[in-house]
Amino acid sequence: MSLQKTTAEIELIRNSALLVSKTLGMLASEIKPGVTTLELDKKAETFIRDHNATPGFLGLYDFPNTLCVSPNEQVVHGIPNDTPLKEGDILSIDCGVLQNGYYGDHAYTFAVGEIDPETKLLLDRTKAALYKGIEAFRTGNRVGDVGYAIQHYVEQFGYGVVRELVGHGLGTTMHEKPEMPNFGKRGRGKNFLEGMVVAIEPMINRGTHRIKQLKDGWTILTADGAPSAHFEHNIAIVNGNPELLSTFSYIYDALGISSDEENAFRTAPITT
Ligand code: MG
Ligand code: MG
């Protein structure tokens, strides 16, 4: 579909994005030692269907589940299984929904119980990098400005930016133009236009940026076994500026966290 969405289309994507936000918020209080990712997957599928929507990933490119669940050294695209989570794990959950013909797609990396301070920093900085990228998603800028903002921020900590997997436009299909790399050069690449809707999704490794893939054909993990974090939002350009369509506020409500990090990117309160 067109790179530039109408106001009505943006609202439909917002509704789908917010259903993903609520799904992640529902999962947030379920993530604890002893729980399996397959249990989380079933809860998410039921929740999405109960809200008159369809899991966006299930069957997409033949993916077998509702959630991509990627613990510890897994970067993305992990398949839910019956291995219990344990204290000190981190767990990246990526979720998509299709509702009224439009997709939402976003992700959060959760701590399972208490995690070590170095890993906590990886999570905090990857999420901060996401907002650096969002800040650069505005008319007058280009794709490379978002990638640069993310890469420049995280590489100061010695982290690795995954190269092979990138963010993307979204709308009536899950993955549309433009591709949104998490690395790049300022002033390079496609111009951002009013009404564009994208997923920005830094995948940041505590060690090398290099990755490998399991024989299951899906799971991506770090080449050196170091942990990896993944945070993703859906954003539209409205009046030239980034407007957040998804929110982590349901997660924060569940976890008892207060945060003002989204305030700069939202012109209207969340109403659903
Ligand atoms: Mg995603
Ligand atoms: Mg995505």
Say whether pLDDT at 9 is over 70: yes
Asked if residue 249 belongs to a domain, the reply is yes
Q: Which ligand is nearest to the CA of 97?
A: 1
Tell me how far apart the alpha carbons of residues 65 and 56 are, in angstroms, rounded to a whole number: 9
pLDDT at position 268: 77
What is the arithmetic mean of pLDDT over 258-271? 89
Q: How far is the CA of 159 from the centre of ligand 2 (A)?
A: 21
> Is the predicted pLDDT of residue 272 greater than 80, yes or no?
no
Ligand nearest to the CA of 231: 1
In degrees and rounded to multiples of 5, residue 73 shows phi and psi of -80, -5
Say which ligand is closest to the CA of 94.
1
Residue 1 belongs to a domain: no
Cα separation, 269 vs 63, in Å, equals 34
The region of weakest confidence among 1-5, 22-26, 68-72, 83-87 is 1-5
Q: Distances in Å between the alpha carbon of 256 and those of 5, 28, 246, 250?
A: 35, 11, 19, 10
Cβ neighbours for 193, distance < 8 A, ≥ 6 positions apart = 3, 4, 139, 237
Quick check: is 122 in a domain?
yes
Cβ-contact 66, 58 below 8 angstroms: yes
User: Ligand 1 mean position to 22 CA, how many Å?
Assistant: 15
Q: Is 248 helix (H, G, I), strand (E, B) or coil?
A: coil
Distance 186 CA to ligand 1 centre (A): 24
pLDDT of residue 196: 98
How far is residue 232 from each of residues 10, 24, 34, measured CA to CA in Å? 17, 12, 26
Contacts of 232 (CB under 8 A, 6+ apart): 94, 105, 106, 107, 108, 130, 167, 199, 200, 201, 246
Residue 140 domain-assigned?
yes
Give domain status of residue 272, yes or no. no
CA of 234 to the centre of ligand 2 (A): 8
Please check whether residue 192 lies inside any domain of the structure. Answer: yes
For residue range 107-153, list pLDDT tens digits in order. Answer: 999 999 999 999 999 999 999 999 999 999 999 999 999 999 999 99
d(CA 94, ligand 1 centre) in Å = 5
Question: Radius of gyration over alpha carbons of the chain, in Å?
Answer: 17
What is the share, in percent, of the chain residues with pLDDT greater than 70?
Answer: 99
Q: What residue ranges in the chain does DSSP mark as E strands?
A: 54-55, 67-71, 74-76, 90-99, 102-111, 160-161, 167-169, 176-180, 197-200, 203-205, 211-213, 220-222, 228-230, 233-238, 241-244
- CATH number for the domain harbouring residue 178: 3.90.230.10
Q: What is the mean pLDDT of the chain?
A: 97
The count of domains in the chain is 1
Instruction: Kindly state the average pLDDT of the residues 27-33.
Output: 98
At residue 2 the predicted structure's pLDDT band, cuts being 50, 70 and 90, is confident
| Residue 270 resides in a domain | no
Say whether pLDDT at 162 is over 70: yes
Q: What is the pLDDT of residues 36-47, one digit of tens each?
A: 999 999 999 999
Distance 232 CA to ligand 1 centre (A): 6
- Measured in Å, residue 104 CA sits from the centre of ligand 2 at 9
pLDDT higher than threshold 70 for residue 258: yes
Domain that holds residue 210: 7-265
Ligand 2: centre distance to CA 254 (Å): 23
Q: What are 114's two structure tokens?
A: 């208490």
CA distance linking residue 172 with residue 189, whole number of Å: 24
Omega before residue 178 within 30° of 0, cis: yes
Q: Is residue 30 part of a domain?
A: yes
Q: Ligand 2 mean position to 196 CA, how many Å?
A: 15
